[in-house]
Chain A
């Protein structure tokens, strides 16, 4: 009997769903759901988060189908199942489309069809607007494409409330404004890969100097968004304390990248850029953890009545 070394395995199909992106989506969607003022049945909550994750996986599969040519060139993505020929591009597409239908349909039946519509829009935005259109055509790709990553907490909020509100829009805005400095810090030290693959990332098209300016500018714009959440119904003193510290650190990092000369960065193999990238991950994780902590405090009636609530 012939042995088939290229037989796709379960793990390959799982890798097609971008499990690491999925875990971030699960976390932010769960926070969006849990901080909402409407309690959700735990089974419904669990299932809804699972379907949101499946939707994120679907858009990951569609992204890998469309971007197989780019992924093949970039070192970071060469081992993905489609560029490494473990899964045929067409199979990735079919899997992505079916999982989109299943996740949106099941979320609609489990939670509500507003949340399902928002999930469908998120998949469309990531797979079509970002992957097929913006990524290869403009250095603003991640600015606008970042919206796709910013939707999950809104979907989580919609699962609980069936709608949109200031708080969910602000959670969206937090991720949306955070994405550009986060990704550009990465692009600074991954620049060669993007150049080879012909992806018009900002350092490729406008140079690293301009990218450093952009990182600082977007970080400055991010700070008020992060802070104002403290004074909404989902915020509070714990969130505020975390936000003040993290924003100060992130601003300091962005300023440091801004003032850094290119030869200094090359001399230490972009050590500062790498550390700002890592800091940005911690930044987002701690903001959402703090929101979760505030929800926990509210649940046990540990409110500080004097805390100002503007919105």
Chain B
């Protein structure tokens, strides 16, 4: 059965949840932006473990 009217505390909780969601979403975007910035700066982006490592292969 649908709840037609939210109580005051539900409204406030909803607001908190939305803000927390925005913070977490912002964090994801920030990490992505950092990744892009580091790639643009030419940092080594090779993974370390259980993957092909071109830099190691090149020396062999």
Contacts and interface: CB of A to CB of B under 8 A. Distances in A.
B28 interface: no
Interface of B: 7-9, 12-13, 15-16, 19-20, 30, 33-34, 36-38, 40-41
Contact of B9 (A3, A10, A43, A47): A3
A282 interface: no
Given A4-B9, A43-B34, A110-B34, A10 B41 contact: no
A9 B14 CA distance: 10
A110 B12 CA distance: 35
A9 B36 contact: no
Nearest to B6: A1
**What does DSSP make chain B's interface, helix, strand, loop or mixed?**
helix
Contacts of A47: 30, 33-34
3 cross-chain pairs, A with B, having the tightest CB-CB distances, nearest first:
A43-B37, A10-B16, A10-B19
A7 B9 contact: yes
A50 interface: yes
Given A4-B9, A10-B15, A43-B34, 4 more contacts: A5-B9, A43-B33, A43-B36, A43-B37
A41 B15 contact: no
Given A9-B15, A9-B16, A41-B41, A3 B33 contact: no
Contact of B12 (A1, A7, A50): A7
B30 A44 contact: no
A69 to B, nearest CB: 27
A40 to B, nearest CB: 10
Contacts of A5: 9
Interface in A187-230: none
A10 B15 CA distance: 8
B46 to A, nearest CB: 15
Given A7-B13, A10-B15, A10-B16, A44 B8 contact: no
Nearest to A9: B16
